[in-house]
Chains A and B, each alone.
Chain A
Amino acid sequence: DTGVSQNPRHKITKRGQNVTFRCDPISEHNRLYWYRQTLGQGPEFLTYFQNEAQLEKSRLLSDRFSAERPKGSFSTLEIQRTEQGDSAMYLCASSPRKGPSYEQYFGPGTRLTVT
């Protein structure tokens, strides 16, 4: 197990297009988080899954954003009708079922550029 993986690592798209990102958490981690990070800022929480259930969504997550985690394994984050303001690094993290629930293991991120 090499840790949390994210694909693609980089995505360039034109304004108005839809994009989808994938996150594969560490095996058997039941919690999965999405964050967004813009230049010069710390990561900002977007949404959280426990198994397949989406338990919390940030107000940052507009109607154009949707996340899924079918079968409680990998997760996808889709952005519809992208805008230039969506350009950011999108980070995924997972945390285990047992032990301290607060340690989150981060993936390398997907850098989105909207032109």
Chain B
Amino acid sequence: AQRVTQPEKLLSVFKGAPVELKCNYSYSGSPELFWYVQYSRQRLQLLLRHISRESIKGFTADLNKGETSFHLKKPFAQEEDSAMYYCALSGQGGAQKLVFGQGTRLTINP
């Protein structure tokens, strides 16, 4: 079964501090992993995907197949990073539907 777990519903850090949002997954094959973000009063949007190996808005995420994790990291948090973050998984082939975690609300304190 496909499953995504985000253990923290809420995460609060100070501006300039490092931030890490945890994501663990369960999938029998080789999944595609994503982070989606939803800023206040905006729609859900893609932040980054593991196959791109890119840094977006200072965020990076490394797929660790051994630990089945895809944690999102940023070395220096900014106030504009405050948002709801969802980790999502898609299996190879098929409908490419997304399986989402329950989300982590990140708050950056000034």
Contacts and interface: CB of A to CB of B under 8 A. Distances in A.
A31 B88 CA distance: 18
B32 A102 contact: yes
Interface of B: 4, 6, 9, 32, 34, 43-46, 49, 51, 86, 88, 90, 94-103
B100 A44 contact: yes
A45 B89 CA distance: 12
Contacts, number: 57
A55 B95 contact: yes
Interface in A49-91: 50, 55-56, 91
Interface of A: 3-4, 31, 33, 35, 40-45, 48, 50, 55-56, 91, 95, 100-109
Given A43-B44, A48-B97, A106-B43, 7 more contacts: A33-B98, A41-B102, A42-B86, A42-B102, A43-B86, A91-B44, A102-B98
Contacts of A43: 44, 86, 98, 100
